[in-house]
Structure 1
Amino acid sequence: MQAAERFRQGDEATVIVHDLRVSVRSVQRWRKAWSQAGSRALASKGPASLPLLSDELFAVLEREPAKGTVAHGWPDQTRTPSRIKTLIGRGFHKSYTVRGVAALLKRHGWSCQVPARRTIERDENLVTRWMKETWPLVEGPWRRSAPGSSSRTKPASR
C-alpha cells in the first residue's frame, strides 16, 4: 500500500526501491497492477501456500517429545530439527525440509536451546586463573592478529 501511495505521488521507481528495500522487478509488477486495477490490486492475497501441518496436527506433534527420544529409536536425548522432520514424516506422512521444520517450530513459539553442560567438579576459580595465566602461553603470539599481518595489506611484488 505504501508503493500505491508513492505511485500516486509520482515517485520514481528507484526511489521506491531504495525506500521500501524491495527489488526493481517488484516495483515494476506493482506499478503495472496498480495502473490496471488501482490499489485493490496490491492488497495481500494471503500466504502463498497453506501450512502442511494444521494446528490440530501440530498439537499432536507437540506431545511426541514427551514420549522420549528412545521411544522413537534415538540413543540420546537431543531433539534436533532433522529428528522432528523424521517424526513428521513417520507420523503424518508429510514432507518438510529441515529449514522448514525450524521455521514451523519458531512460528509455534519453540526456541533452540543448547544445554550448558558443566561438570559438578568444575572449579570456577581454577578455570579463571588458567585462562589468565596459562592460556596466553598456549595461544602464542602467532595466533594474535596485528596490523599488517594480513597478506592483503602487504604490497604486491611483481
Structure 2
Amino acid sequence: KGLEALRYRKITKNPCRLSQEQKDELRKLLALGAEHFGYPGAIWTLSRVRDLILRKFGISYCISNVAVILKKIGWTCQKPVVRATQRDEEASKKWLQEKWPEIKKSR
C-alpha cells in the first residue's frame, strides 16, 4: 500500500468561478483604490482583494487563488515597503554604519 499512495494522479484545476464580466468589473473596482472601499492606505493586499471579491460577488477564494485571479486580469502582487512614519533616516544610517558592524563582529 505504501507505493500505491505515491502513484501519479493528474491534478485538475477548478475553473475560476468569476465570469469574464465579473473579472472586468473587478479590474475596474481595483483601479478605484483600496481607500475607496474603506481600507487604510492605498495598497491592495491579497486578503483585501479576497474580501472585496466576497463582498461584491459573493464568492470566497483562498489567498493563493486570489493571486492567480489577479495575474489573469493583469495585476501583479507586490510587497509593500513598510516603514514607520516616525522613522529617522539619518539615525538609521548612523546605526547601520556604527552599531551594526560591532554587533556583526560579536556573532
Same fold (TM over 0.5): yes
1:90 matched to 2:55: yes
Secondary structure in 2 matching 1:76: coil
Where does the alignment leave 5 or more consecutive residues of structure 2 unmatched? none
Tell me the C-alpha RMSD between the 2 structures: 3.2
Aligned to 1:155: none
What does the per-residue CA deviation read over 1:107-137, in whole Å, with 9 as the maximum and x for residues that have no partner?
A: 3332222344789x856xx93x753443111
If asked which structure has higher relative contact order (CA below 8 Å, sep 6+), I would say 2
Residue identity in the other structure for 2:41: D
Aligned residue identity for 1:138:
I
Q: For residue 25 of structure 1, what is the amino acid of its counterpart?
A: R
Q: Work out which of the residue numbers 58, 62, 67 in structure 1 matches 2:32.
A: 67
Preserved contact between residue 70 and residue 77 of structure 2 (Cα < 8 Å): no
* Higher gyration radius (CA): 1
Secondary structure of 2:17's counterpart equals: coil
Q: Which runs of 5 or more structure 1 residues have no equivalent in the other structure?
A: 1-22, 31-46, 145-158
CA distance in 1, matches of 2:50, 2:81: 25
DSSP-derived class of the 1:137 partner: helix
Identity across matched positions, percent = 36
Show the counterpart of 1:135. Answer: 100
Give the TM-score, by structure 1 length: 0.48
Question: Number of matched residues?
Answer: 98
CA contact (8 A) 2:49 2:66 kept: yes
Instruction: Tell me what 1:151 maps to.
Output: none
Match of 2:69 in 1: 104
Query: For residues 90 and 99 of structure 1, what CA distance do their matches in structure 2 show?
Result: 18
